[in-house]
Structure 1
């Protein structure tokens, strides 16, 4: 990513939620799941007591009630709309104002209980909850800020015992929120000139669907989105189907590999779309705003080459599909490594493409256990830029390292210890994080370094890993005590000296 955070739930609120759940068990034996996972920067994010295995989201998106739809005779007929299913490129006609302002959704959440549950929580910012069921039976729902408290009835208590799988269905609607992070950046549901784009790092996914929104809980996804013609809906994974009826089209996207919710995306708007495949059989899908199309073409044509080069460095590509979503300039503030197809806020250059595709290994497949581990995402993605520049632009990695070393912004704090939630996307996480990676490379020979990196991505493929996991893995695989390297470069407060 090139990026950034909502405020954590106050401790007093968490205690109140716990007391609320404890006092209203609905006859189900067990205890309430925690209303937060005590992330170092977002203690109220995520929920305890269960692990989500699959989200099935059915979303209907359209303009707000006071928007006027375009007359039917101003739309192109459905049979003239060449879209993503036929592999061709086709920009759509101009939609009405604010065409993606309202959302009606049904979230079916399959989860496994990790304790005997009497109640549990879901993260959801804004939106109106109409009903909830657990195992098909009505459940009581309470709201407390960004927390939904679900209290099933006693009839389903056996399904909520530790180790059992249960299904929750939440029906909801409203106008999704744009969230302002502590660093001032925007995420959640971002209105664009012709639709909207949903960006979730670190907490914005709760703006458009309820769930366990902490990176440690990964799941598979089916996302079905219905939008008014001539808009297109693009999400993660592979396009399973597209069907049009009465001037509205439903797109079904499936993500078969586990994904953290902050990496889920949904882009609604006018897009030129294209499908193809790499020589290795990776399915490619790109969606580009027509205003960005010409300036993006050459860089996006390089996706297969970047993926092949990255696989040599980091190991096999961890997913079955790839691609990109390119909005028009100004529709978003930053690029984000949304799984399978990163979102770009305008035509990207090759360095940014390399960075965001590297995240498919570092961050998307190997996902941080907490937001304190974000340097593992950004340090490796930045180092990928350095490696690409060395291989393709005659810029030695040492030169990139020296430039980062001399940049005072990289020394504001240690990469493994941002001082607050507002700092998790600041320069040290990126630049100094990449310096940690390079100092590790210098501590062992090149062959051992790249073997180590490929082993790391294989060992934790589709899982979660922390900074401690990484340092322990490195020392176990190399047989070396690297305490001094970690103390100086990863955790140290001051700039360590380097040899001339």
Structure 2
């Protein structure tokens, strides 16, 4: 997930802490048959079954595409939105939920027919006029308005729509997507996105994917973005502010769009110049870059305290360091392309991105991964590094703490030591290739590592991923 540059209760591996058209193959909603009466279906679950965030996501349907049309007034902080969700029922449904909190719903239709709805905490409960049949594709349109704000996570930090002095810093991990659009808000449910965002003409609105252009009229500018590859809702952004914009295409054909708050421009310039070389290096180590677009959003948001790997275009609360750039860029493979099945497995995101920092340092004149490992291992048994095993954080309050990042990376280093460099790098590349644009679990990674190495690695994984306390010296 997010990466912090200073010690906090959040994260940092070493410091104790990205319009449906022909190019997007998204089907248009249509009734496949006349639906039966309400009693013919079932009620979709109000959560996806995640042990840490029990109401996150929803059952009974899969969203394939979000069309989000937003208008944000930075002076009043008022947001008007229309969200069009193209989905398919995975069971017969008389009712289903969307995750949506705070903003007022002013209209809701299912396949252009007005539907009943009610609110229950973060759940927007939808009862369509006709039951949905299993396998049926349908379209939900929600109009809404209000003053969006963040949610407070179990560890006390904020995520979602976070107002700034010139706009909004929008970072949704793990819960915050529901603060600005209705969604099936769990990493298990990934979709393509189109964004149309209107802001005052002296502001820039930056979202995920490929920049499609802008138009200005009557003192307002509308920006359009398209994220074609599947994306979890928490990785969506619509960050707004006063930004200096830079665009170019890398020699690998990746379209780069950087937006930097002028207050952060001087400190950012040197680091962002490295982005093409960082992506090129990571592509050599992990496999081809998984998206069509890349870039960075560097905001001036001193109250946020973290950066986030929003898909294709990470958002930084201030000028990033090179290690933070490497970390968030590595997440495009580990976390964005290959997504979580459960938040309990978040070490698959953070441990891998942290180890990418170690590898980059090792191959660019800094400390070796072994030196970094040894430095961490020298910490006493009471250090917070050993508070819990990385593959079993215990609660949502712990998923961004030191063990997930640093001890997760240590587990990967132990794997590298056990199987040797050629096999280790083959494992990493196989992981992102076999699960590209999909999902993965810790058990699947363990199985892949044993398959590629031909070794029984049960003891290694048990020690470094699941065991309490400081492991015995390797």
TM over 0.5: yes
**1:431 and 2:403 matched:** no
Q: 2:118 aligns with which of 142, 152, 175?
A: 142
Aligned partners of 1:227, 1:390: CA distance in 2, in Å?
A: 44
Q: Which has the higher helix share?
A: 1
Greater CA drift, 331-340 or 119-128? 331-340
How far residue 27 of structure 1 moved from its aligned partner, in angstroms, is: 2.6
Give CA-to-partner distance per residue, 1:260-292, whole Å, 9 cap, x none: 011111111100001001111111100000000
Q: Report the Cα offset of residue 332 of structure 1.
A: 2.3
Counterpart of 2:328 in structure 1 is: 356
CA distance in structure 2 between the aligned counterparts of 1:328 and 1:40, rounded to whole angstroms? 34
CA contact (8 A) 1:329 1:347 kept: no
Give the TM-score normalised by structure 1.
0.86
- For the 8 Å contact 2:105–2:143, the answer to whether it is kept is yes
SS of equivalent to 2:161:
strand
Q: Deviation of residue 394 (structure 1)?
A: 3.3
8 Å CA contact 2:423, 2:452 repeated in 1: no
SS at match of 2:324: helix
Q: Kindly indicate whether the alpha-carbon contact (under 8 Å) linking 1:57 and 1:108 is maintained by their aligned counterparts in 2.
A: yes
Deviates more, 1:324-333 or 1:181-190: 324-333
Indicate whether 1:450 and 2:397 are aligned: no
Indicate conservation of the 8 Å contact 2:426/2:452, yes or no: no
Match of 1:2 in 2: 3
Shift of residue 26 of structure 1?
A: 6.5
Displacement of 1:481: 1.4
Decide whether the 8 Å contact of 2:285 with 2:425 is kept in 1.
yes
Q: CA deviation at 1:406?
A: 2.5
Structure 2 residues without counterparts, runs of 5 or longer = 5-9, 12-35
Residues of 2 paired with 1:422 and 1:237: CA distance? 30
What is aligned with 1:291? 263
Root-mean-square deviation (CA, aligned residues, Å) is 1.4
Deviation at 1:29?
2.0
Does structure 1 conserve the Cα–Cα contact (< 8 Å) formed by 2:66 and 2:191? yes
Partner of 1:48: 59
| Distance in 2 of aligned mates of 1:478 and 1:388 | 23
Task: State the alpha-carbon separation in 2 of the partners of residues 368 and 329 from structure 1.
Answer: 27
Is 1:394 equivalent to 2:394 in the alignment?
A: no
Residue deviations 1:112-162 (CA, integer Å, cap 9, x gap): 1110111100000110001111111110011111101110112xx3xx211
* Cα deviation digits, residues 34-55 of structure 1 (max 9, x gap): 0001201001110000011000
CA-to-aligned-CA distance 1:53-106 (integer Å, 9 cap, x gap): 00000001114xxxxxxxxxxxxxxxxxxxxxxxxxxxxxxxxxxx36111100
What does residue 90 of structure 1 align with? Answer: none
Give the SS at the match of 2:206: strand
What is the rounded CA distance, in whole Å, between the counterparts of 1:137 and 1:328 in structure 2? Answer: 43
Q: What are the ranges of 5 or more consecutive residues in structure 1 without an aligned counterpart?
A: 6-24, 64-98
Q: Identify if the C-alpha distance between structure 1 residues 100 and 277 changes in structure 2 by more than 3 Å, giving closer, same or farther.
A: farther
Match of 2:29? none
Question: What's 2:70 paired with?
Answer: 59
Specify the alignment match of 1:486 in structure 2: 461
Aligned length, in residue pairs: 441
**Contact preservation (8 Å) 1:28, 1:153:** no
The separation in 2 between residues aligned to 1:496 and 1:153, in whole angstroms, is 58
Q: Does 1:418 align with 2:418?
A: no
1:122-137 mapped onto 2 (5 Å cutoff)? 122-137=98-113
- Looking at structure 2, the residues matched to 370 and 393 of structure 1 have their Cα atoms a distance apart, in angstroms, of 36
| Structure 1 segment 206-245 matched on structure 2, within 5 A | 206-245=178-217
